[in-house]
Structures are given as structure tokens and as C-alpha cells.
């Protein structure tokens, strides 16, 4: 059996035809920001899907899963996503059913990533785990008893906006001290800049988290210190999340994690330090086993399995 996974980003919409075993058979994409109305956008998506199916001799699909900013599992809508050029409450489920009568399931991208890990990746068979995704922001998806936690609104699992440090850094959400302000790509850069300033050293004008990662792996002390600070903050957030659902594993994915040891070694130390003693040995930090360029489509496709 096959399914379709769609990753809706502000710039591009990526689609993939996914086989039962998690292999992406074929992909296509259209530019999200070329549209300001839902109807033509969905029409073009459905055309792409039909082509993907025809080109690969697939007659039927199990459903369409969509990972989207503000994607709401309960309503099948994208609710006022600030970074989309199509505004308002967008009822994808209804619109897609005009073309194809298959289940359409939406969720936000971090939830989709968590579910993808469970269906196709390293979380197969796990009943309780949490996924943290580091990138432009910090997202999370939480699985309890083998089910994604959507909460009463569909908006559960926003651990990037857990306030880690009261009255800490200003967050784009309007509040202060959110985890995201420390462990997103931007937060990591800010920490590096602050450490450079503390040392009275000039900071390169253009610096990103990838460069700070490269510098750390070449032994640069400020870069190494940056990752230690980030690891301490992320380790605390992870340990705090364990007091909620006592997961078997916490998964980690996203660009900044590619730095490897400079983040992961101090992260394990921080996690162990901050973990409440009753959970010792019961929860392990693991890296996502899905490929970075596949996780969005696989995560979206995995959402279909929730309807079964």
C-alpha cells in the first residue's frame, strides 16, 4: 500500500509517494508562495499527486498526510499560519476531498516528525517518547501510550515555548526565556556572540550555527563553550519533559544536531545531572534515524496511520 506525504513550508511544498516500508518512491514540489488562494493551490497539489501515482503505476493510496505550520489534527485545517502567503483558516481536508476520497490528516511538522520516527524510524515499537526538533525554531512531538498527544486544541507539544529561564531572552512569541531562544539556530548564534563579547573578542559579522559547529569540531574554545551552554539548557529541558510523561526515549533531530560530539557529549552529561533520580536509566537520548531530507515527507505520510 502507498500513501502521500506533503510537507508545506512557507517557500516550497514537497510531496512524496511513500511505500508501506517507508521508501519514498518519487517526489515532486510546487512553490507555496506562488499562491494566495487555497483552491488553486490544492488543485495543483492534487495534480502533482495524480502524476506521481500515474508515473509509478500506483492506482490507489491509503491517504494523504500533511505536515504544516499550525496544522490541526482535529479540524483538518491549517489555522492562520503566519509564514504562508495563503491567509486564514485553510480547510485542506474538505478541499482535497473534492478530488480524491481518501483520509486526509494534518498536524504540525514536529508532531509529524515524531510520528514518522515511530512508524518508519528509531521509535518503532516505543510507546512513550518525545521528539525535539532543533532548527529555525524548536519544535516537539510527544507520544504517550503509542499515540501522538494533540491535547484539547490540537496544539499540544510546543516544548520550544516552555519557559526554561524565567525572565530570560526575549522570544518571538512575546514572552521571555522560552527554550527556543536558547537552543534554536538563532539562539545558538546569540550564545556564541555573548560569549565572544564576554571575552572581549571580536565576533565575525556573519556567523551561523553550522559555522559554530565547524569551529567547535576544529577545537575553537568559544565555539566549544557555546555548545556546552546549549547542551546544558537542552539537557535541562529534556529532563523536565521526563517528569511529564516518563518516556523511554527522547529523540533529537535538526540541523544544529549535526555538530555531533560538541553538543551530544555535554548533552548527555546535562541530562544525567538534571534527571530526577526515579527516572535514572529509564530514558535514553537518541538521534533520529530518519534522513534529514526525508523526515518531513515520511512524517507527513506516517500521520495516515493514526486514522487506522
- The backbone torsions φ and ψ at residue 204, rounded to the nearest 5 degrees and listed phi first, read -55, 140
Whether residue 14 contacts residue 6, with contact meaning beta carbons closer than 8 Å, is answered with yes
For cell 511513500, what's the residue? 18
- Total residues interacting with a second copy, rule: CB under 8 A: 43
Which C-beta is closer to a second copy: that of 156 or that of 188? 156
Which C-beta is closer to a second copy: that of 171 or that of 263? 171
The residue from 203, 248, 268, 305 that contacts a second copy (CB under 8 A) is: 248
CA angle at residue 161 from 68 to 188, to 5 degrees?
Answer: 95
Which C-beta is closer to a second copy: that of 40 or that of 151? 151
β-sheet bridge partners, residue 16:
5, 27
Site string for a second copy, 207-236 (x = CB under 8 A): -----------------------------x
Taking each helix axis from N to C end, the angle separating 209-217 and 261-274, rounded to the nearest 10 degrees, works out to 90
Site string for a second copy, 251-280 (x = CB under 8 A): -----------------------x-xxxx-
Q: Is 240 near a second copy (CB under 8 A)? A: yes
The residue from 10, 31, 146, 151 that contacts a second copy (CB under 8 A) is: 151
Which C-beta is closer to a second copy: that of 47 or that of 272? 272
Whether residue 52 contacts residue 93, with contact meaning beta carbons closer than 8 Å, is answered with no
Which C-beta is closer to a second copy: that of 76 or that of 213? 76
Distance CA 239, CA 57 (A): 48
For cell 565576533, what's the residue? 203
β-sheet bridge partners, residue 308:
none
The residue from 21, 59, 145, 205 that contacts a second copy (CB under 8 A) is: 145
- The backbone torsions φ and ψ at residue 57, rounded to the nearest 5 degrees and listed phi first, read 55, 40
- The site for a second copy (CB under 8 A) is made up of 127-128, 142, 144-145, 147, 149-159, 161-166, 173-175, 236, 239-241, 243-248, 274, 276-279, 282-283
Amino acid at each position: 500500500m502507498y500513501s502521500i506525504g506533503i510537507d508545506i513550508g512557507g517557500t516550497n511544498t514537497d510531496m512524496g509517494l511513500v511505500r508501506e516500508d517507508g521508501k519514498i518512491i518519487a517526489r515532486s514540489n510546487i512553490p507555496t508562495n506562488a499562491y494566495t488562494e487555497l483552491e488553486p493551490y490544492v488543485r495543483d497539489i492534487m495534480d502533482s499527486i495524480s502524476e506521481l501515482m500515474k508515473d509509478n503505476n500506483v492506482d490507489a493510496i491509503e491517504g494523504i498526510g500533511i505536515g504544516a505550520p499550525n496544522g490541526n489534527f482535529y479540524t483538518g485545517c491549517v489555522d492562520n499560519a503566519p509564514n504562508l502567503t495563503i491567509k486564514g483558516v485553510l480547510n485542506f481536508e474538505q478541499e482535497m476531498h473534492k478530488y480524491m476520497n481518501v483520509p486526509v490528516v494534518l498536524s504540525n511538522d514536529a508532531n509529524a516528525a515524531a510520528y514518522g520516527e515511530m512508524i518508519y524510524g528509531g521509535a518503532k515499537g516505543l510507546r512513550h517518547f518525545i521528539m525535539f526538533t532543533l532548527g529555525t525554531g524548536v519544535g516537539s512531538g510527544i507520544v504517550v501510550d503509542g499515540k501522538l498527544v494533540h491535547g484539547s486544541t490540537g496544539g499540544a507539544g510546543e516544548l520550544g515555548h516552555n519557559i526554561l529561564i524565567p525572565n530570560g531572552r526575549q522570544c518571538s512569541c512575546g514572552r521571555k526565556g522560552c527554550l527556543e531562544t536558547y537552543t534554536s539556530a538563532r539562539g545558538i548564534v546569540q550564545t556564541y556572540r555573548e560569549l565572544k563579547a564576554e571575552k572581549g573578542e571580536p565576533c565575525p559579522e556573519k556567523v551561523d550555527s553550522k559555522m559554530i559547529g565547524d569551529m567547535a569540531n576544529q577545537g575553537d574554545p568559544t565555539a566549544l563553550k557555546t555548545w556546552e551552554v546549549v547542551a546544558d539548557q537542552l539537557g535541562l529541558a529534556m529532563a523536565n519533559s521526563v517528569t511529564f510523561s516518563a518516556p523511554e526515549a527522547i529523540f533529537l533531530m535538526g540541523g544544529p544536531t549535526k555538530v555531533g560530539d560538541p553538543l551530544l557529549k555535554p548533552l548527555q552529561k546535562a541530562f544525567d545531572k538534571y534527571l530526577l533520580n526515579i527516572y535514572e536509566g529509564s530514558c535514553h537520548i537518541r538521534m533520529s534515524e530518519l534522513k534529514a531530507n526525508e523526515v518531513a515527507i515520511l512524517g507527513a505520510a506516517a500521520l495516515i496511520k493514526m486514522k487506522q
